[in-house]
Amino acid sequence: MDRTPYGQPSDRIDSLREQFPVLAEWAYLNAGTDGPLPAVATQAAAEELEHQSRTGRTSAHFEHRHELADALRSSYSELLGCVPAELALTTCTSEGISLVVQGLGLGPGDEILTSDQEHPGLLGAIQAARDLCGAQVRLAALGDLPAAVGPNTKLLACSHVSWVSGELAPNTLAAVADSVPILLDGAQGVGAIEVDVRALGCHAYSGAGQKWLCGPDGLGMLYVSGELQERLAVVRRGYGNFEAATEGLDAHVHPDARRFDCFGLSAEAIACALAALGVLEDAGWQDVHRRALQLADTLVERLAKCGRVVAPRGESTLVSFSSVDPAAERVRLAERGIVLRDIPNQPLLRASVGAWNNEQDLDRLIDGLGAGQ
Ligand SMILES: Cc1ncc(COP(=O)(O)O)c(C=O)c1O
């Protein structure tokens, strides 16, 4: 997928920044919430809608939607290191997570093991399994999860990259993959760092299109291994995931991961997502990942020099650091054109560093932090 041999940064990585209008004005360090949108992506969405308004939405429109969906499935599966038959298109990370947790049909006596730094997108699905179905929940530190698997653990669900600190799931997860299904929340993983679902040893990986892939809101992906596909109940069925919808109540869902597809993805959203992926692919994924990680490391050094304590993190693109009053400081920084987020209930601000950022964005952040003191 990467057109640049490793070790030789493409020229395009240097001009990547120019593709994102928001960066002309803002030091935008918030891809962990929503990535910056490239100009060609908004244009692709507008052109798609304009075409629909001129030609109407006939059967050709529905065929076109299917073609776009196939193209997106193929691009997303390349990014995760799986095949299209293992990838469902969803609206967001949280939706994919819910499909897996619900589909396992866990109940009394079944334990879900998760970490103590999970996002509501994962916690919500676990809460529903506990409150509606009687499953038990146990927490452990992210790094301790493999060792914490017990005889009643029927699902291990955690972040690939923690949204709080940028810590990574332990690379020993794969060692327990034979004894328990592993679901990774990849909201802060895919697009930000290299992902290989096979090397991670997970059975399901749910990711977002609107964050590190710079796509529109309303698109995401869910990898489900062939083995887990067999075990998961398909809890929603309809025109969108039947193989032949003409068979009424006897219709079958698709034989592969398309059975978990969301029903109503729009052509304009998919066209927008594909155009955004094209921008990142052209820059070269290895360069995109490497540059973001290098910039994040530079930010860590600079924060330390100005007395901020950086939360323990892994090789990720998130940098969370100490702030006495994070919400107020976030607002103060936004007034100076610097966009990042605070972490609720923690004395932390979080910068999301992408390959589209540059040293000047970091300068602005460091200056902005100093100005408030
Ligand atoms: C770790 C993590 N999981 C889940 C989510 C929710 O993502 P989505 O809006 O794609 O459902 C987020 C969003 O920030 C996140 O950081």
pLDDT in tens, 278-323: 999 999 999 999 999 999 999 999 999 999 999 999 999 999 999 9
Residue 10 has a pLDDT of 62
Give pLDDT tens digits for 235-255.
Answer: 999 999 999 888 999 999 999
**Confidence category of residue 8, pLDDT binned at 50, 70, 90:** low
The predicted model gives 172-182 an average pLDDT of 96
Outline which parts of the chain fall under CATH 3.40.640.10: 46-280
**Confidence category of residue 227, pLDDT binned at 50, 70, 90:** very high
Q: Give me ligand 1 centre to Cα 371, in Å.
A: 31
> Which residue has the least CA distance to atom 9 on ligand 1?
92
Tokens of 40: 């060609």
Residue 62 has a pLDDT of 93
Residue 6 has a pLDDT of 47
> Which residue has the least CA distance to atom 14 on ligand 1?
33
**Averaged pLDDT score across all residues of the chain:** 95
Residue 371 has a pLDDT of 81
> Which residue has the least CA distance to atom 7 on ligand 1?
93
Q: Give me ligand 1 centre to Cα 239, in Å.
A: 27
Q: Best substitution site from 188, 206, 346 to test ligand 1's pocket, by max atoms within 8 Å of Cβ?
A: 188
Residue 3 has a pLDDT of 40
Residue 230 has a pLDDT of 96
Give pLDDT tens digits for 341-367.
Answer: 999 999 999 999 999 999 999 999 999
Using CB distances shorter than 6 Å, the residues near ligand 1 are 33, 92-94, 119, 121-122, 159, 163, 185, 187-188, 208, 220
Q: Give every CB contact of residue 322 below 8 A, 6+ residues apart in sequence.
A: 308, 309, 310, 311, 347, 348
Q: Give me ligand 1 centre to Cα 245, in Å.
A: 32
Q: Give me ligand 1 centre to Cα 163, in Å.
A: 8
Q: Best substitution site from 91, 100, 185, 221 to test ligand 1's pocket, by max atoms within 8 Å of Cβ?
A: 185
**Confidence category of residue 373, pLDDT binned at 50, 70, 90:** low
Q: Best substitution site from 90, 93, 161 to test ligand 1's pocket, by max atoms within 8 Å of Cβ?
A: 93
The predicted model gives 211-215 an average pLDDT of 98
Q: Give me ligand 1 centre to Cα 93, in Å.
A: 6
Phi, psi of 367 (to 5 degrees): -60, -45
pTM of the model: 0.96
Q: From CA 88, how far away is CA 223, in angstroms rounded?
A: 6
Q: From CA 196, how far away is CA 199, in angstroms rounded?
A: 5
Q: Give me ligand 1 centre to Cα 66, in Å.
A: 26
Q: Give me ligand 1 centre to Cα 289, in Å.
A: 20
User: Which CATH architecture fits 46-280?
Assistant: 3-Layer(aba) Sandwich (3.40)
Residue 13 has a pLDDT of 83
Judge whether residue 4 has pLDDT over 50.
no
- Rounded alpha-carbon distances, angstroms, from residue 319 to 44, 100, 189, 199, 350: 32, 29, 14, 25, 6
| Helix (H) / strand (E) containing 9 | none
Q: Which atom of ligand 1 is nearest to the CA of 118?
A: 1
Q: From CA 217, how far away is CA 273, in angstroms rounded?
A: 9
Residue 37 has a pLDDT of 98
**Confidence category of residue 201, pLDDT binned at 50, 70, 90:** very high
Outline which parts of the chain fall under CATH 3.90.1150.10: 11-29+284-371
Q: Is 258 exposed, middle or buried (0-12, 13-18, 19+ CB in 10 A)?
A: buried
Residue 372 has a pLDDT of 66
Residue 153 has a pLDDT of 98
The predicted model gives 167-193 an average pLDDT of 97
Domain 11-29+284-371: which CATH class?
Answer: alpha beta
Residue 329 has a pLDDT of 97
Q: Give me ligand 1 centre to Cα 308, in Å.
A: 26
Look at residues 272, 209, 296, 279 and name the one whose alpha carbon lies nearest to residue 13.
Answer: 279
